[in-house]
Chains A and B, each alone.
Chain A
């Protein structure tokens, strides 16, 4: 049975630069859906190829979320299109590096699958970059872990 990260990690992954416009990240997310392999997070690497962060759909949605959202439930006459248009306009001034998550938990190719499962559960993450000598070599997704570990059940 496969027991370590490199046994289950996906090696076909996209990366972005911290200086990429956010529209580039949006394009990758949209294209992945069209290709039938929806991805939810993209690794961000610096000029040396080292992992600098991760940008996820969550990061972009967080940017979309208004600051005073807790009182919005009381307001009925809101046009959500207007909010999205305004956010899209604001997004033009921001780069991937501005809204990505800079502190990324990663594993190495030799990390045991149970250790990966433990991290995913404790830290509430669904994907973990696999890093070797500071550079990303793969990504382990919770769905792959689930499918692999429960194959025998």
Chain B
């Protein structure tokens, strides 16, 4: 297997140490509150001090709403069991392979030779680590003293790694149909566009769980609950610059447009960026050694 920026790095370098655990009897309402409070997409279910029993994600909550379950439903009714684990000492490459093979977005890290959960690893955490190196690297586009036009390093552009398929709906589509589309795809958000396919807003799974909590009806039109404006970037932007925008603005994705006043051609998420296993270039494979020592 080829070398990439993450080669040799361990799960413990990127994982979040704060792991939120709820009890099986806690309600969906309580679960949504914690997901919002800690800005996470899933949380662990377990009894105090015992091996975790399962995971509940925003997708599970969206499914519960669609199925007509009330907010008072215990989360053990909708959790996915068992959770998938990795070791905090495992390599990030092997953790990414596990996530890809199992089609999952996060792993919980166990302490070496123990059953204690010491962290959670999701795609954005890996991107955060990659960006950490890019931001310190002399070859990074934000630190480069020489003109970027004289730059001989091959830098990834957004269009090279973006997902070209974009799920979209019109403003008058019902929230119910939005939930159906999102449940049937791997996307975390849907683009709301007008008749000319011009982006008007976005509805994410976070927006949907919030609507559920606020007692909204599934029949409301998408246009009434969408978030605006649509965060976007250009196809030719360097990946590093798009990642910086997402990290600084707390966004999980940017919709991609070829150039100004054009319709959306793709979407770049932190998941896409993590799967690249690199920042904008591979310069940091060598420079990282220096970064780690500093």
In the docked arrangement, what's the CA distance between A153 and B163, Å? 68
Q: Are A71 and B132 in contact (CB under 8 A)?
A: yes
Residue A70 CB within 8 A of the other chain:
yes
Q: Are A66 and B250 in contact (CB under 8 A)?
A: yes
Query: B213: shortest Cβ distance to chain A, in Å?
Result: 7
Residue B174 CB within 8 A of the other chain:
no
Contacting B at CB under 8 A, from A90-148, are 93-95, 97-103
Residue B186 CB within 8 A of the other chain:
no
Q: Are A98 and B36 in contact (CB under 8 A)?
A: yes
Q: Name the contact of A98 in the complex, choosing from B33, B131, B135, B250 (C-beta under 8 A).
A: B33
Q: Name the contact of A95 in the complex, choosing from B128, B214, B227 (C-beta under 8 A).
A: B214
In the docked arrangement, what's the CA distance between A66 and B39, Å? 9
In the docked arrangement, what's the CA distance between A66 and B30, Å? 22
Inter-chain contacts of A100 with B (CB < 8 A): 33
Residue of A nearest to B17 (CB): A70
Q: Are A78 and B248 in contact (CB under 8 A)?
A: yes
Residue B247 CB within 8 A of the other chain:
yes
Q: Main SS of the interface on chain B?
A: helix
Inter-chain contacts of A63 with B (CB < 8 A): 37
Query: B196: shortest Cβ distance to chain A, in Å?
Result: 27
Q: Which of A86, A93, A94, A100 has the most CB of B within 10 A?
A: A93
Contacting A at CB under 8 A, from B19-44, are 29-30, 32-33, 36-39
Residue B84 CB within 8 A of the other chain:
no
Inter-chain contacts of B32 with A (CB < 8 A): 98
Residue B210 CB within 8 A of the other chain:
yes
Residue B119 CB within 8 A of the other chain:
no
Q: Are A67 and B124 in contact (CB under 8 A)?
A: yes
Q: Name the contact of A99 in the complex, choosing from B33, B136, B244, B250 (C-beta under 8 A).
A: B33
Residue B165 CB within 8 A of the other chain:
no
Q: Are A97 and B33 in contact (CB under 8 A)?
A: yes
Residue B290 CB within 8 A of the other chain:
no
In the docked arrangement, what's the CA distance between A97 and B71, Å? 13
Residue B154 CB within 8 A of the other chain:
no
In the docked arrangement, what's the CA distance between A141 and B32, Å? 29
Q: Are B30 and A103 in contact (CB under 8 A)?
A: yes
Inter-chain contacts of A83 with B (CB < 8 A): 248
Inter-chain contacts of A101 with B (CB < 8 A): 37
Residue B146 CB within 8 A of the other chain:
no
Q: Are A98 and B213 in contact (CB under 8 A)?
A: yes
Residue B152 CB within 8 A of the other chain:
no
Contacting B at CB under 8 A, from A55-78, are 59, 62-63, 66-68, 70-71, 74-75, 78
In the docked arrangement, what's the CA distance between A59 and B210, Å? 17
Q: Name the contact of B131 in the complex, choosing from A59, A71, A78 (C-beta under 8 A).
A: A71
Q: Are B33 and A68 in contact (CB under 8 A)?
A: no
Q: Are A70 and B248 in contact (CB under 8 A)?
A: no
Contacting A at CB under 8 A, from B97-151, are 124, 128-129, 131-132, 135-136
Q: Are A75 and B136 in contact (CB under 8 A)?
A: no
Residue B249 CB within 8 A of the other chain:
yes
Q: Are B37 and A59 in contact (CB under 8 A)?
A: yes
Give 13 A-B contacts (CB < 8 Å), ordered by A residue: A66-B248, A68-B128, A71-B128, A71-B131, A71-B247, A74-B132, A75-B248, A93-B227, A94-B210, A97-B33, A97-B213, A98-B37, A102-B29
Please name the 9 residue pairs, one residue from A and one from B, whose CB atoms are nearest each other, closest first: A68-B128, A74-B135, A71-B132, A68-B247, A67-B39, A71-B128, A98-B36, A102-B30, A66-B250
Binding site for A on B (CB under 8 A): 29-30, 32-33, 36-39, 124, 128-129, 131-132, 135-136, 210, 213-214, 227, 244, 247-250
New A-B pairs, 20, CB < 8 Å, besides A71-B247, A86-B250, A98-B213: A59-B37, A62-B37, A62-B38, A66-B247, A67-B250, A68-B124, A68-B131, A68-B250, A71-B132, A74-B132, A74-B135, A74-B136, A75-B248, A83-B248, A93-B227, A94-B36, A97-B213, A99-B33, A99-B37, A100-B33
